[in-house]
Amino acid sequence: MAGRVTTRTFLDMKARGQRITMLTAYDYPTARLCDLAGVDALLIGDSLGMVVQGHDTTLGVTLEEAVYHTRMVARATEHALVIADMPFLTFQLGVDQAVANAGRLLAAGGAQAVKLEGGQDMQETVRRMCRVGIPVLGHIGLTPQSVHALGGWRVQGRTAEAARRLLDDALALEDAGAFGVVLELVPVEVAEAISRRLRIPTIGIGSGPGCDGQVLVLHDLVGLGEGPGPRHARRYADVGTAIREAAAAYCRDVRQGDYPGAEHATSLGADASAVVAALGDGRPARDPHPPGGDPEHRLYGGKP
């Protein structure tokens, strides 16, 4: 792998017909593994709110949390382009504030680009960011920050009118200087047609093979979550089962006295008896667990 992927590489890859790979990452170890695997771009998605923080939507993620996770991912990568997602209401309230918040993701987080949701409505914001040197990846189709307005997690652009609006959104982002655009849950035919119309690459999620690249949430890819995962994801590993089985085996071993073994700690060997003798007769000076509990230590409501 030669050098760092840049936004320029994205454009070159599209021109060469080379498919772009992108995954989400939220922490150092997984970002490191994905980077070593050769993924072209890592997105600190606000999906963080759902797959890491356990919320039902992405709406609760803050700018400071995005900066915090972006730092870990940026520190882990040598190859992948690091793209930080702009959380809900960090870019919708005014262009100046949006530019300042995006700048923070680059300057304090170490990202090399930001992603934001929206199309024509975000054109001016994207233009200003690009003008001050902040590369922007757009995101249209199912935009999770608008999940309540959209009435749920549903495919977008099913009608001729809605599909035309998506194309206009994509063209507006390209015109504003975005280096790519995510198409989420867009019908295969619409995604393919939009991809053909743009100079910049489209990165699809649940939008079929006609996009110029693909992005998936890492947790869906490796099976780190409860349930079967979304329809659009292919599961390449079952890390969730591996972790659960490892934790259960650890509990069993500790309870049975099979862990730790001799190899997991240091023994004094021949010096042991002299050292232990210096500790006294082995009886505790005071029973730390007197029968009936410690009268000084009570739980809520005064229960011993």
**Residues labelled catalytic:** 184
Which of these ranges, 45-53, 91-99, 152-160, 187-195, lies near ligand KIV under the rule CB under 6 A? 45-53
By the rule CB under 6 A, 205 interacts with ligand KIV: yes
Rounded distance between C-alpha atoms, residue 269 and residue 266, angstroms: 9
Residues 228-247 that bind ligand KIV (CB under 6 A): none
User: Which stretch, 39-47, 63-71, 273-281, 293-301, contacts ligand KIV (CB under 6 A)?
Assistant: 39-47
Q: Are 147 and 172 in contact (CB under 8 A)?
A: no
Among 141, 12, 6, which residue's Cα sits nearest to residue 83? 6
Give which of 64, 28, 26, 63 is closest to 48, Cα–Cα. Answer: 26
Dihedral pair phi/psi, residue 16, rounded to 5°: -90, -5
Among 111, 126, 217, 224, indicate the residue that binds ligand KIV (CB under 6 A): 217
Q: For tokens 């959104």, what's the residue? A: 169
Q: Which is nearer to ligand KIV, 106 or 203 (CB)?
A: 203
For ligand KIV, the closer of residues 110 and 230 by Cβ is 230
Dihedral angle sign, alpha carbons of residues 31, 32, 36, 40: positive
24 binds ligand KIV per the rule CB under 6 A? yes
Angle at 247 between CA 254 and CA 75, to 5 degrees: 120
Is position 85 an interface residue for ligand KIV (rule: CB under 6 A)? yes
Instruction: Please state the closest distance from residue 67 (CB atom) to ligand KIV, in A.
Output: 15
Least separation, in Å, of the C-beta of 150 and ligand KIV?
14
Q: Is 173 exposed, middle or buried (0-12, 13-18, 19+ CB in 10 A)?
A: buried
21 binds ligand KIV (CB under 6 A): no
User: Nearer to ligand KIV by C-beta: 20 or 284?
Assistant: 20
Q: Is the distance from CB of 235 to CB of 223 less than 8 angstroms?
A: yes
Told to check if 45 binds ligand KIV by CB under 6 A, we report yes
Q: Are the beta carbons of 118 and 149 closer than 8 angstroms?
A: no
Looking at 80, 122, 215, 224, which residue binds ligand KIV (CB under 6 A)?
215
Which CB atom, from 227 or from 301, has the smaller least distance to ligand KIV? 227
Establish if 105 lies at the interface with ligand KIV (CB under 6 A). no
Q: Using CB atoms within 10 A of its CB, is residue 188 exposed (0-12), middle (13-18) or buried (19+)?
A: middle
Q: Does 47 bind ligand KIV (CB under 6 A)?
A: yes
Where do contacts with ligand KIV occur on this chain (CB under 6 A)?
24, 43, 45-47, 58, 85, 139, 182, 184, 205, 215, 217
